[in-house]
Amino acid sequence: MIAFIIRRLLQSILVMLTVALVAFALFRFVGDPIASMVGQETTLAERAELRDALGLNDPFVVQFFTFVSRALVGDFGISYRLQQPVMELILSRLPATLELALVSGILAFVLGVGFGVYTALRRGGWLSSSIMTVSLIGVSLPTFLIGVLLIWVFAVELQWLPSFGRGDVVDLGGWWRTGLLTESGRASLVLPAITLGLYQMTLIMRLVRAEMLEVLRTDYIKFARARGLTNRAVNFGHALKNTLVPVITITGLQLGSIIAFAIITETVFQWPGVGALFINSVRFVDVPVMAAYLMLIALVFVVINLIVDLLYYVVDPRLRMDRTTAGH
C-alpha cells in the first residue's frame, strides 16, 4: 500500500511539472503582455523598463525556474492587467467555482445513480424509456445552449429564477464567501448548477445502467435469487454494491471536469468564478493568471485522480489480491 501511494505521488509530481512547463511555454509566447498593460503614449524606454521589472527579458529557463519555485509557496506573481497578486485574485473567486462544482457534482451523482438504477431495473417501462430519451439532450446539446435555454424558460418567460450573478453572499471569514446561506444566493445557483451538472449526470446514469445490467446477469446474482433473497436485497445489497466500483473512478474524474469546464457555464451566467477570471486573462494576455489557472486545474485533477486510485484500491479487493500474488 505504501509503495502504491509513493508511486502515485511521484507520478503526480511528474504530471504537475509537465503541466507547468507546457502552460508556461505556451503562454510565454502568446502575444505581448506589455501591449495590454500600457497605452499608446508610452515610450519605448518605459516599455523596456517595465519589461525588465517583470523579468520578461530573462532567459526562458530562468523564468520557468522562478515560476515553479514561487508556485510551490503559492506565489504566482502579479497580474499584468489588474496589478494585484494572482493568488489573491484566485482565492477571491475560488469559493464561487467550488460551490458551483460541488452542487453540480452532488446533483449529477445522486440523480445519475438514481436514474441509472431505475432504468436498469425497469428497463421495459415507459418511464425508463422516457428518461433515456430525455437524457440524450444532456449528451447531445452543448453546455452553453442548455444554459441559454434554461435562462429563456425560467428567467425570461417564467421569471422564477435569476439569469446571472451569484446573488447575496455571506462572509465566513478569511477569503471564503458563500451564497448558500442567502435566499438569492441559492436561487442564483440553481440554473448554473443544472447546466453544469446535466451532461455529467447523463454520463453517470448511462454508466450505472450499463454496469447494473451486466451485474444482474452474473451467476452470483442468479445464485442469490435461488437462495430466496428478496429483490431489494439482491438489487441493492449485491448488484448495486458491485456496480458502484467502476462508477467511483468516473465520478471522481467527472468532478475534476466540472471544475475545469465551468468556464462556459460561468461565462453564460456571468458567475464570478475563476473560469471567468481565466477568460478575461486570455483576452488581455495576462500570463501569470493563465499559468496559475492551468496549474490549479492540473492540481485538482491530480489530487482527485490520486484519491480515486486509493478508493479503488480499497473498494476492489482484486487489486490487493493481484499485488499480493505478484509480491509472492
> Would you list the DSSP string of 264-312?
HHHHHTT--SHHHHHHHHHHTT-HHHHHHHHHHHHHHHHHHHHHHHHHH
Please, are residues 122 and 235 in contact by the beta-carbon 8 Å criterion?
no
CA atoms of 17 and 10, how far apart (whole Å): 11
Among the listed residues 285, 246, 203, 291, the one whose alpha carbon sits nearest the alpha carbon of residue 37: 285
Task: Tell me the mean pLDDT in the region 206-229.
Answer: 81
For residue 318, the model assigns a pLDDT of 57
Banded pLDDT at 193 (limits 50, 70, 90): very high
Q: What is the pLDDT of residues 9-22, one digit of tens each?
A: 888 888 888 888 88
pLDDT tens for 242-259 read 777 777 777 777 777 788
Share of residues in the chain with pLDDT > 90 (%): 5
**pLDDT confidence of residue 262:** 85
Between residues 311 and 164, the one the model is more confident about: 164
Structural domains of the chain ordered from first start: 91-274 (1.10.3720.10)
User: What does pLDDT average to over the chain?
Assistant: 81
Lowest mean pLDDT among 37-46, 80-89, 104-113: 37-46
5 or 149, which is more confident: 149
- Cα 129 to Cα 63: distance, rounded to the nearest angstrom: 57
pLDDT higher than 80, residue 23:
no
**Quick check: pTM over 0.85?**
no
End-to-end CA separation in angstroms for the chain: 15
**Given a cut of 70, is residue 199 above it in pLDDT?**
yes
Q: Compute the average pLDDT of residues 44-72.
A: 81
| Predicted confidence (pLDDT) per residue in 262-277, tens digit | 888 888 898 888 888 8
pLDDT at 75: 83
pLDDT at 113 over 60: yes
* Residue 316: per-residue pLDDT: 60
pLDDT over 80 (residue 103): yes
Assess whether pLDDT exceeds 60 at residue 326: no
| Segment of 50-54, 70-74, 113-117, 304-308 carrying the highest mean pLDDT | 113-117
